[in-house]
């Protein structure tokens, strides 16, 4: 999906203090990489990558990424990529929602928007992500996505603590959802 560089977040938003229904989703602009970095940093949970990597991401993987915009602010993002060896599989890399907007369904909507966006260009049969066992919101997010899409969900360890070189990082469990009904 290609966006015009001048396209901005929707400015005509009402009071959003109780609802984030006005949040709109689209591919990120290059200059929004720093907002992804900030949301990741503020999450307190995510592995925070360099600012450079988020800029690179917004340049080269914008089509498999969405940002959620509210009043000109980026309040959410989902980054993903199509696996080179399995291009019908969308790997969801990071999801973050601004703390003020959490627990109102925004991550679920963002994930839906991403999968729909990618599916406009090519079939997406599977969605994968890894979740650490202590991240209940994340596991519920992917369980909910599988439920809503009427798709099977399987889990299995992917990266163990040993892969991370010791106990510095909890294991990452692979969540694999699909096949998605067309
Ligand atoms: C994970 C995260 C993106 C969820 O965002 P969100 O907009 O609050 O999520 P949603 O409102 O769409 O809720 C998704 C599911 O998680 C559940 N959930 C959300 N926050 C929760 C919490 N703090 N505790 C328990 N469940 C929670 C919701 O109830 C919902 O489950 P349900 O459909 O069974 O009711 C957000 O908590 C976040 O940014 N966390 C920090 C970064 C992170 O851990 N990202 C995931 C790893 S990549």
Instruction: Detail the DSSP E strand segments found in the chain.
Output: 24-26, 65-70, 73-83, 86-97, 126-131, 153-159, 172-177
Around 118, how many Cα atoms within 13 Å sit in the side-chain half-sphere?
A: 27
pLDDT of residue 18: 52
Domain membership flag for residue 159: yes
User: Residue 11 domain-assigned?
Assistant: no
Residue 149 covered by a domain = yes
Query: Quick check: is 133 in a domain?
Result: yes
140 lines ligand 1 (CB under 6 A): yes
Range of 163's domain? Answer: 24-177
Tell me, yes or no, whether 17 lies in a domain: no
Torsion angle in degrees (nearest 10) through CA of 41, 46, 51, 53? -170
Q: Residue 16: inside a domain, yes or no?
A: no
Q: Hey, which of 141, 144, 153, 175 would you mutate to test ligand 1's pocket, going by the most ligand atoms within 8 Å of its Cβ?
A: 141
Mutate which of 43, 103, 131 to test ligand 1's pocket (most atoms within 8 Å of Cβ)? Answer: 103
Q: Is residue 154 part of a domain?
A: yes
3-class secondary-structure state, position 92: strand
Q: What CATH number does residue 153 fall under?
A: 3.40.630.30
pLDDT digits (tens, 9 = 90+) for 152-178: 999 999 999 999 998 889 999 999 999
Tens of pLDDT, residues 14-58: 344 456 889 999 999 999 999 999 999 999 999 999 999 999 999
Per the structure, the count of domains in the chain is 1
């Amino acid at each position: 999906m290609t966006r015009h560089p001048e396209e901005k977040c929707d400015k005509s938003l009402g009071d959003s203090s109780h609802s984030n229904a006005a949040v709109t989703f689209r591919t990120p602009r290059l200059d929004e990489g720093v907002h992804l970095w900030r949301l990741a940093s503020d999450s307190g949970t995510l592995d925070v990558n360099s600012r450079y990597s988020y800029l690179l991401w917004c340049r080269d993987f914008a089509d498999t990424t969405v940002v959620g915009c509210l009043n000109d602010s980026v309040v959410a993002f989902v980054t993903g990529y199509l696996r080179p060896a399995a291009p019908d599989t969308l790997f969801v890399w990071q999801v973050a929602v601004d703390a003020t907007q959490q627990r109102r369904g925004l991550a679920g909507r963002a994930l839906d928007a991403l999968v729909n966006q990618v599916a406009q260009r090519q079939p997406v049969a599977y969605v994968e992500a890894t979740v650490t066992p202590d991240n209940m919101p994340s596991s519920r997010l992917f369980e909910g996505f599988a439920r809503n899409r009427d798709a099977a969900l399987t889990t299995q360890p992917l990266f163990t603590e040993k892969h991370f070189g010791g106990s510095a990082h909890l294991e990452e469990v692979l969540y694999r959802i699909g096949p998605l009904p067309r």
